[in-house]
Amino acid sequence: MNLNNKIAIVTGASTGLGKSISIKLALSGYEIILASRNLEKLNEVHRIINSKGGKSKVILTDVSNESDIENLYSKIDIERVDIVVNNAGFGIFNKIYKISSDEWDNQINTNLKGSFLMTRYVSESMIKRKTGRLVFINSVAGINAYPYSSAYVASKFGLRGFTSSLREELREHNIKVISIHPGAIDTPFWNKVNVDFPKDEMLKADDVADSVVHAILAPDNVVQEEVVIRRTGGDF
């Protein structure tokens, strides 16, 4: 694959799966735009990529904030953007009557609206160029419903609907829309979540990132439209 200084944007790139995907794409030859809300951790990923001979740039970004998205795209050459990995997301798990309106809105805005905004600002350029890969890190919660997860599941079911429609819209323009549905991954996502999952039995970020990058870098005439990644033993 001739990358010709192509750019890959990864949101939620500061830790966990986003960090692993960023490093692996950088080693594949892409210049990585590292986007998240944590500048210190983004700079750490930037240093790792540079130490391995890769190229990256840090842009502090809250994907739920449209002005942040505008700022991100204003700082790069959008015509070089070949990949956008929409990885930023979080969950709050609780009984329905204990979820506040702000907690509901924050999950919808980050997990669903953020992916819409990232796509909206780059799609016209990709359509004109007749190329591009839009990647959405969804969840098995975008396929199956789970208790105490109403806002999170709603955001992920919504994301699956959005990507399914988007895929049909962009197919004729040779743009790949790839949905990734992993099970529980051992990342900082779970540090503030009150669930009793054994972290040592969760999927590992590097293993999932290998599958994601494999789907992204498939031959031009092949697209893995939906990829479900689970433990061999099944979900918790």
Q: List, by residue number, the catalytic residues.
A: 152
What residue type is assigned to position 83 of the chain?
I
Angstrom distance (rounded) from CA 150 to CA 43: 34
> What is the signed CA dihedral for 58, 63, 65, 66, rounded to 10 degrees?
90
Distant-in-sequence, close-in-space partners of 178: CB < 8 Å, separation ≥ 6? 133, 134, 135, 136, 215, 216, 223, 224, 225, 226, 227
The pair of structure tokens assigned to 203 is 């999927």
Largest CA distance in the chain: 53
3-state DSSP call for residue 132?
Answer: strand
Q: Please choose, from the candidates 227, 8, 213, 18, the residue with its C-alpha nearest in 3D space to the C-alpha of residue 139.
A: 227
Dihedrals phi, psi of 81, to nearest 5 degrees: -75, 115
Question: In which residue are the tokens 């079911």 written?
Answer: 157
